[in-house]
Structure 1
Amino acid sequence: MLKTITLCSALLISSASWAADTTPTEPTAPVRSVANVDLNRYLGLWYEIAKFPMYFQRNCVADTTANYSKNPDGSVKVINRCRKESGEFDQAEGKATVVDNTQNSQLKVSFFWPFKSDYWIIGLDTDYQWAVVGNPNRKYLWILSRTPSLPEPALQAAQKAATEQGYDLRQLDYTQQQK
């Protein structure tokens, strides 16, 4: 227990000092998605590395993933999964559609019809090993990885993609992933 508390304290301190150095001033430019996304390469399992705290993820304590696959109609099936405090998994299934003329970098995601949310890929590793997803009003942000942890240089690159878009990383919450 003490080891866990010490590790968490060290992570919080290092995260706070990093965020203090990279917190953007008031954003003036609109959020931009990446130029294009090869949807077939993007499909598959992603691990949540960090996120802005969200009401609908309030019961998630660890092991959060998103799995994307193609539906027969060309839309994208989204399965979000996380571990709750009880140890059980919670899962939600949704559907995403590509926004026209965005080269697959902007989607509309719905978990509860008729509500849809913007899902913009604003940072993407050239090898599709990490992605940064946000929305135009900067209220949502996720850092995703193909593996349960992200090496420090890759994490810094993902964080930089977010700060360059005007996201304030002081509210970033890191996700515990069992390996």
Structure 2
Amino acid sequence: MRAVFVALLLLAGCGTFEVYRDTETPIASKALFEPERYVGVWYEVARFPVPFEAGCVGVTAEYQLREDGLLSVLNICRDADGAEKSRITGTAEIVGPGRLKVRFASVPFVAADYWVLWTDEDYNTAVVGTPNGRSGWILNRAPTIRRDRLDAARDVLEFNGYDLSRLEEVSQ
């Protein structure tokens, strides 16, 4: 129940949440986003701190195409021992190229803008950010990421106005 409450506060914007990007800097989503290539499991390899992921390691996000055109979303947080700490399910509506409107089942009436800012050509690494700058993630198809991919992802975040000094690598 605590995770649901924290997620509700985050999505509703009612809590104290830091902003990690200069919101005066234009932010751009991936123009040639291909949802069918984005589906599957992603490992969170870096993130900006957000309350709903406090203490989480081994975080995964899984997206699947649904018959109604939405994407299903399953986010799992693990503790340091690898045990599942929490999970949240929802849907993502594609509202523009690389732009997802994410709704979680346990957080009614609230949707969050998650923009896919970049993926490599093979959809092995992705950068996701939010226009309000309150969160951002580097995702990878494998639990570990090559240094060149991490550097490219960091460059994308910086280009979109993110303060890289606040980015945290996530243990898998």
TM-score tier by shorter-chain length is 0.7 to 0.9
Equivalent residue pairs, number = 150
**1:56 has 2:52 as partner:** yes
CA contact (8 A) 1:123 1:162 kept: no
CA displacement, residues 113-132 of structure 1 (integer Å, 9 cap, x when unaligned):
11110010112111111000
Tell me the residue number matched to 2:87. Answer: 91
CA displacement, residues 124-150 of structure 1 (integer Å, 9 cap, x when unaligned):
111111000001122210000011011
* SS of match in other structure, 1:115: coil
Aligned residue among 134, 147, 154 for 2:129: 134
Aligned residue among 98, 107, 123 for 2:100: 107
Tell me the residue number matched to 1:124. Answer: 119
CA contact (8 A) 2:129 2:135 kept: yes
* SS of match in other structure, 1:96: strand
For residues 81 and 27 of structure 1, what CA distance do their matches in structure 2 show? 29
RMSD: 1.8
How far off its partner does 1:174 sit? 1.0
How far off its partner does 1:157 sit? 0.3
Structure 1 segments of 4 or more deviating over 4 A?
Answer: none
Structure 1: tracts of 5 or more residues without a match:
1-23
How far off its partner does 1:92 sit? 0.9
In the TM superposition, 1:140-155 aligns within 5 A as: 140-155=135-150
More helix by share: 1
In structure 2, give the amino acid aligned to 1:48.
E
* SS of match in other structure, 2:132: coil
How far off its partner does 1:74 sit? 1.3
CA displacement, residues 11-46 of structure 1 (integer Å, 9 cap, x when unaligned):
xxxxxxxxxxxxx9x564321111121111000000
**1:42 has 2:35 as partner:** no
Q: TM-score, normalised by structure 2?
A: 0.81
Structure 2: tracts of 5 or more residues without a match:
1-20
Assess, with a 3 A threshold, how the Cα gap between structure 1 residues 85 and 147 changes in structure 2: closer, same or farther. Answer: closer
Q: TM-score, normalised by structure 1?
A: 0.78
Structure number with larger C-alpha Rg: 1
CA contact (8 A) 2:128 2:138 kept: yes
For residues 127 and 88 of structure 1, what CA distance do their matches in structure 2 show? 30
In the TM superposition, 1:63-78 aligns within 5 A as: 63-78=58-73
Assess, with a 3 A threshold, how the Cα gap between structure 1 residues 59 and 164 changes in structure 2: closer, same or farther. Answer: same
Tell me the residue number matched to 1:12. Answer: none
How far off its partner does 1:86 sit? 6.1
